[in-house]
Structure 1
Amino acid sequence: MKKINLILLFSLLTVIVIAQNKTLKVWPNGAPNDNGMTEPEEKYDGVRVRKVSEAEMYVFSPEAEINTGAAVVICPGGGYWVEAMDHEGYDIASFLQSKGITGIVLKYRLPYENHEVPSSDARQAIRIVRANAKEWGINPEKIGIAGSSAGGHLASTAGTVFDYGNKESSDKIEQQSCRPDFMLLLYPVITMDEEFTHLGSRGNLIGKGHDKELIRKYSNELNVSAETPPTFLVLADDDTAVVPKNSISFYSKLKEFDVPAEMHIFQKGGHGFGIRKNGIPADNWPNLFVDWLKAIKIIE
């Protein structure tokens, strides 16, 4: 019996190693900003993490024969105080990998009173993917970003406030655009307007005061432009944590600028359903997302 258990354990470990191909530090030479966290990173409740002070990327590459050339940087949610790395991170990456799409889970640094830290990590992650696109079997014009809940706020921040790289830089990564080519937003926090924001996420990102400049800066429905990438939104009508108005306001702004978008509001699902099999219609969102990628010509 022990021998059989060891064989099973070895097999599972082998699968994990195959599934996750690479782990990279986002800032191997040190980040340009600091969140002030000096305590050790903590894992709890499975693979959730908090007290994150160093950003890392976990790359799940598909087999060559099914590789579509598309990639998605994935930002797990958790109210900007924790990151749900499993059902909003690794599990999504594994699904994408099975569909020929490179899934890249970003463990971003949490803000801890420095609101610029998470979005700088997300933008740098996109630059890194573009800089390594050829080596990783990725089309540099098919790199998207995804996020759930507060991770959706982070993804929508990266998707609305970006630059096209510094072509004069001698650094290959700095030369790259950080604009994602598409977005996947799962029950995202969008606004900092206290009328319909998620107050926990807002407080953890910009503080509990009423700084009008920061509220405006991170209310991403106000940052949409004609250059905002095509967006796929998923949420539940009965979400009381991050109310549907967040996604609806974002979708409405996308339409004002004629940005291609698709939104699915499922009757049941609540908040935080991720990619788990919950026995609800919302479980089908991953297949709908793949269909949408085909519709916008990201994959065939």
Structure 2
Amino acid sequence: MTTHIVVLPGGGYAEHAPSEGEPVVRWLESLGIEASVFLYPVGVHHPEPHIAVSDEIARLRAAGIERVGVMGFSAGGHAAGLAALSPVSPASRPDFAVLSYAVVSMVPPTNEGSAINLLGADASLAERRSVSLEMLVSEQSPPIFAWQTADDVAVPVATLYRLGEALAAQNRPHAIHVYPRGPHGLGVSAEGLALWTEECARWLSALDHP
């Protein structure tokens, strides 16, 4: 089966972190997985980034890719999760998602920079809830691998636990990993590789051989 992973770098919905783009593609290609970086729009409000990611997934499907996954980091993790849990159309829902220290929730306490950049400073609680991943899980949600460090000061780890609880409540396939230490933005740096990539590689392989 042809698999392609769309890599979505972080950057607080204000920029794209280079360390979470092409280095991640090279790591995935070392596993024999086709991948590409998608630079979704930044400096704009929802739903523009969400529509762009969804359109890219649909474009890959139309090009003949049999299985499309998303892998996002920080704000890019939120964009990946939103594509997985709130697709624009059935064709734009990815077959799986990998969320790395993702901004899971837009409801305080959260990464306020990402929330304000995506929704604006005056967004209502209802608007924030409408794009909070833990509130979007359903019976149609695809398999999700998510990880974070417990001492991440940029994204509250409690939000990842809430996402795990929501996935469990809907009986959706998922793997949640919380590592004791490590700064936000690890990516596939030397320290990041030691933390999460081996377990993620096994999880990706299990999609082919459950």
TM-score (normalizing by structure 1): 0.67
**Partner residue of 1:57?**
none
Q: In the TM superposition, what is the alpha-carbon distance from 1:213 to its structure 2 partner?
A: 2.9
Question: How big is the shift at 1:219?
Answer: 1.1
The one of 52, 59, 72 aligned to 1:147 = 72
2:24 aligned with 1:92: yes
What SS does the corresponding residue of 1:189 show, helix, strand or coil? coil
Give 2:162's aligned residue.
Answer: 249
* Map of 1:223 onto structure 2: 136
In 2, the alpha carbon distance for the partners of 1:89 and 1:247 equals: 22
Q: Secondary structure at the match of 1:128?
A: helix
Q: Quick check: 1:237–1:270 contact (8 Å CA) kept in 2?
A: no
**2:92 corresponds to which residue?**
178
Alpha-carbon distance in 2 for matches of 1:210, 1:161: 19
Report the CA distance shift for 1:164/1:120 in structure 2 as closer, same or farther (over 3 A). Answer: closer
Question: How much has 1:244 moved relative to structure 2?
Answer: 0.7
Match of 2:82 in 1: 157
Equivalence map 1:8-23=2 (5 Å)? none
- What is the aligned partner in structure 2 of residue 120 from structure 1? 51
What is the Cα deviation at residue 104 of structure 1?
Answer: 1.5
Cα deviation for residue 124 of structure 1 reads: 0.6
Report how far residue 287 of structure 1 moved: 2.1
- Map of 1:58-77 to 2, 5 A cutoff? 69-77=2-10
- Structure 1: distance between partners of 2:98 and 2:15: 20
Specify the code of the residue in structure 2 equivalent to 1:178. S
Aligned-partner Cα distance in 1 for 2:127–2:88: 20
**Number of paired residues?**
210
**Residues 1:102 and 2:15 are matched in the alignment:** no
State the partner residue of 1:17.
Answer: none
Q: CA deviation at 1:150?
A: 0.5
**Larger radius of gyration between Structure 1 and Structure 2:** 1
| AA partner of residue 131 (structure 1) | A
Question: Which residue is equivalent to 1:131?
Answer: 62
CA contact (8 A) 2:72 2:102 kept: yes
| Pairwise CA distance, 1:284 | 4.0
| Unmatched 5+ stretches in structure 2 | none
Distance in 2, Cα, partners of 1:98 & 1:254: 30
CA contact (8 A) 2:5 2:68 kept: yes
Q: Give the TM-score normalised by structure 2.
A: 0.94
Is 2:51–2:88's contact at 8 Å kept on the other side of the alignment? no
> What's the C-alpha RMSD, in Å, of the aligned pairs?
1.7
Identical-residue share of aligned pairs (%) = 32
Q: Unaligned stretches of 5+ in structure 1?
A: 1-67, 166-176
Larger RCO, structures 1/2 (Cα 8 Å, 6+ apart) = 2
- Which residue in 1 is equivalent to 2:202? 291
Q: Which amino acid aligns with 1:292?
A: W
Question: How far does residue 234 in structure 1 lie from its aligned partner after superposition?
Answer: 1.4
